[in-house]
């Protein structure tokens, strides 16, 4: 019995020791678990890195940029286009007759100057032609002098050959050599005579050219002096009528504004074809004031009513009655 009790006590003690060992082991494991374990660095993938960067960007403070407003441009109102004023046929006729009278005065002023502008233009053209002609003559004379110099050089060379052949004649061995040298000397002598003849011909041509140059220069001097006189005369005439002509030209341009383009073109065409420059004429003694042909009564009535523009069936000029002429004079 004692042995059994001792065995039980020993087992109990062993169990108690085992329990204590287990308790101590559990405590050590708890401490180990409570201590922080250093985690190994994990390599981040490019996708994770991109996500982190986007998060950082999202978390970063965003700077608010204020938009600079441009100063508002002033809106310029478009110019109001006025409707073209309708001009009656009567007003057109008055404007045409006024335009005709103004253009006739301008023609009188230009006729007062006469043919001076045309004469001056002709003189200037002739002077330019003379200058070109003189320059060509001088070039031809230079060429003649060069040809004469070349022929003179050729003559000297030929004379030297003749002397050489004459010296060779003194040392000939037979008659054949002597005859050949004699023929060569004769040939060179003829060549000298030909060159002298060419020199005389060129000299005669050069003298003729020199005479032409002298005549052209005299004519040029005369034209230059007369041209200066004509220019002075034209200048004096222009000074007296220049202001009046400018005023008339301005008035003519103002009258053209009241005439439609189609009618204005017809007016200028008639004026150009007419000898006296009249495109708009009045009726005198029931006849056209341009060609003096009788106008039928019906046409006269149409002209007096001012409902449409009537032209002469013979000369094509535009016809107006005394009423239009009186309005112009008024």
The radius of gyration computed from the CA coordinates of the chain, to the nearest angstrom, equals 61
pLDDT on residue 187: 92
Has residue 230 got a pLDDT over 50? Answer: yes
| Boundary residue ending a domain (195, 211, 242) | 242
Instruction: Tell whether 268 and 204 lie within a shared domain.
Output: no
Instruction: Tell whether 163 and 271 lie within a shared domain.
Output: no
Domain presence at residue 123: yes
Residues forming beta bridges with residue 1, ordered by sequence position: none
Instruction: Tell whether 160 and 129 lie within a shared domain.
Output: yes
pLDDT on residue 272: 87
| Boundary residue ending a domain (242, 270, 298) | 242
pLDDT on residue 251: 86
Instruction: Tell whether 185 and 126 lie within a shared domain.
Output: yes
Mean pLDDT of the chain: 77
Percentage of residues of the chain with pLDDT beyond 90: 25
Instruction: Tell whether 183 and 299 lie within a shared domain.
Output: no
Cα dihedral 18/19/24/25 (nearest 10): 70
Domain presence at residue 324: yes
pLDDT on residue 78: 41
Instruction: Tell whether 122 and 220 lie within a shared domain.
Output: yes
Selection from 165-179, 205-219, 245-259 with the highest mean pLDDT: 205-219
Instruction: Tell whether 284 and 234 lie within a shared domain.
Output: no
Residue at token pair 């007096």: 304
| Boundary residue ending a domain (213, 242, 271) | 242
Instruction: Tell whether 126 and 189 lie within a shared domain.
Output: yes
Question: Per-residue confidence at 213, pLDDT binned at 50, 70, 90?
Answer: very high
pLDDT on residue 217: 92
Instruction: Tell whether 228 and 284 lie within a shared domain.
Output: no
pLDDT on residue 32: 40
Question: 220 CB contacts (<8 Å, ≥6 apart)?
Answer: 127, 130, 131, 134
Domain presence at residue 3: no
Has residue 50 got a pLDDT over 70? Answer: no
Domain presence at residue 94: no
113 DSSP 8-state letter: T
Q: How far apart are CA 182 and CA 204, in angstroms?
A: 33
Q: What residue numbers bound the domain in which 277 lies?
A: 261-329
| Mean pLDDT for the stretch of residues 140-158 | 93
311 DSSP 8-state letter: B
> For residue 130, how many C-alpha atoms fall within 13 Å in the half-sphere facing its CB?
19
Instruction: Tell whether 199 and 268 lie within a shared domain.
Output: no
Structural contact between residues 278 and 292, judged by C-beta atoms closer than 8 angstroms: no
Domain presence at residue 177: yes
| Mean pLDDT for the stretch of residues 278-303 | 88
Domain presence at residue 219: yes
Domain presence at residue 89: no
Instruction: Tell whether 119 and 231 lie within a shared domain.
Output: yes
Domain presence at residue 182: yes
Has residue 269 got a pLDDT over 60? Answer: yes
Instruction: Tell whether 238 and 121 lie within a shared domain.
Output: yes
Give the domain CATH number at 155: 1.10.287.1490
How many domains does one find in the chain?
A: 2
């Amino acid at each position: 019995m004692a042995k059994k009790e001792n065995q039980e006590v020993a087992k109990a003690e062993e169990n108690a020791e085992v329990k204590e060992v287990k308790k101590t082991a559990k405590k050590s494991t708890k401490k180990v678990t409570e201590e922080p374990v250093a985690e190994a660095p994990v390599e981040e993938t490019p996708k994770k890195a991109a996500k982190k960067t986007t998060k950082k960007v999202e978390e970063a403070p965003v700077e608010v940029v204020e938009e600079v407003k441009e100063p508002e441009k002033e809106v310029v109102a478009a110019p109001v286009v006025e409707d073209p004023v309708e001009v009656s046929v009567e007003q057109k006729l008055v404007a045409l007759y006024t335009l005709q009278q103004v253009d006739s005065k301008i023609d009188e002023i230009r006729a007062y100057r006469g043919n001076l502008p045309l004469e001056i233009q002709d003189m200037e053209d002739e002077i330019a032609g003379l200058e070109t002609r003189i320059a060509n003559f001088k070039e031809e004379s230079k060429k003649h002098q060069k040809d004469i110099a070349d022929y003179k050089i050729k003559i000297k060379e030929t004379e030297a050959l003749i002397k050489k052949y004459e010296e060779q004649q003194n040392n000939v061995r037979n008659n054949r050599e002597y005859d050949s040298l004699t023929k060569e000397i004769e040939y060179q002598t003829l060549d000298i005579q030909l060159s002298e003849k060419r020199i005389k011909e060129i000299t005669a041509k050069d003298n003729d050219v020199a005479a032409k140059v002298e005549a052209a220069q005299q004519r040029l001097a005369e034209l230059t002096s007369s041209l200066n006189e004509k220019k002075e005369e034209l200048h004096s005439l222009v000074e007296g009528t220049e202001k009046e002509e400018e005023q008339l030209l301005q008035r003519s341009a103002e009258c053209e504004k009241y005439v439609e383009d189609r009618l204005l073109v017809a007016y200028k065409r008639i004026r150009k074809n007419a000898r006296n420059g009249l495109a708009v004429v009045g009726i005198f003694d029931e006849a056209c004031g341009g060609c003096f042909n009788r106008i039928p009564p019906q046409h006269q009535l149409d002209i007096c009513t001012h409902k449409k523009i009537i032209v002469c069936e013979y000369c094509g000029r535009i016809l107006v009655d005394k009423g239009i002429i009186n309005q112009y004079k008024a």
